[in-house]
Amino acid sequence: DAKTTQPTSMDCAEGRAANLPCNHSTISGNEYVYWYRQIHSQGPQYIIHGLKNNETNEMASLIITEDRKSSTLILPHATLRDTAVYYCIVRALSGNTPLVFGKGTRLSVIA
Amino acid sequence: GAVVSQHPSRVICKSGTSVKIECRSLDFQATTMFWYRQFPKKSLMLMATSNEGSKATYEQGVEKDKFLINHASLTLSTLTVTSAHPEDSSFYICSARDTAKGWAAKNIQYFGAGTRLSVL
């Protein structure tokens, strides 16, 4: 799996959009960008994934640059419950290899 | 999304005892499950890959005789920490992917809630 780089931590005001960046400059053509988050003392939770088109679901939006070397996860209206560590991981859609976690970004949503 | 159930959520045991952690995929089949360990303020570290009906594959540095893994059915994997010591105290998390769906599963891994093990 390609390596990703994320900021160590970010703050966001409650109700505002949280934009979490991720660099993955060595991503391969068959690799997708996956985002997970881990709320304190819980197991990771799947958020969203994408290949090259922007994606949106009930939790978040994923914006992938045209060259696919970076992406941004957007939480449109952050709440206190969104405080968590967010992990950006790139991997192929097929295969059965496990997720490999980096250090992620610790997002603190502040009231 | 699919549900992975992990039990117990917390266990406290004496040094030298063995502890079994169960991981179940509730609404899907998983021929492969993954076990992770997480120390405070650290990221998840993969310990082993559990394969239904065959031996588990352990990551480098993980003692297979200490962390026994059994994957006897398509929905259940167990991790037994044998002769636990205080340094084994950690947060253990299992994960699974819906292997029956193939491509439709989109390679999404689902995670249990984790088991916090404290060895006294």
Q: pLDDT tens across A25-77, in order?
A: 999 998 999 999 999 999 999 999 999 989 999 999 999 999 999 999 999 99
> Is the pLDDT assigned to residue A96 strictly greater than 90?
no
**What is residue B102's predicted lDDT score, i.e. its pLDDT?**
66
- Longest CA pairwise span in chain B (Å): 45
Residue-by-residue DSSP string for B31-90: SEEEEEEE-TTS--EEEEEEETTS--EEPTT--TTTEEEEEEETTEEEEEE-S--GGG-E
Cβ–Cβ contact B95 with A under 8 A = yes
> Is the pLDDT assigned to residue B74 strictly greater than 70?
yes
> Is the pLDDT assigned to residue A6 strictly greater than 70?
yes
Contacts of B97 in chain A (CB under 8 A): 96
C-beta atoms of B109 and A32 within 8 A:
no
C-beta atoms of A104 and B43 within 8 A:
yes
Nearest to B43 among A43, A91, A101 (CB): A101
Contacts of A102 in chain B (CB under 8 A): 43
> Is the pLDDT assigned to residue B12 strictly greater than 70?
yes
DSSP A97: P
Distance from the Cα of B44 to chain A's closest Cα (Å) equals 6
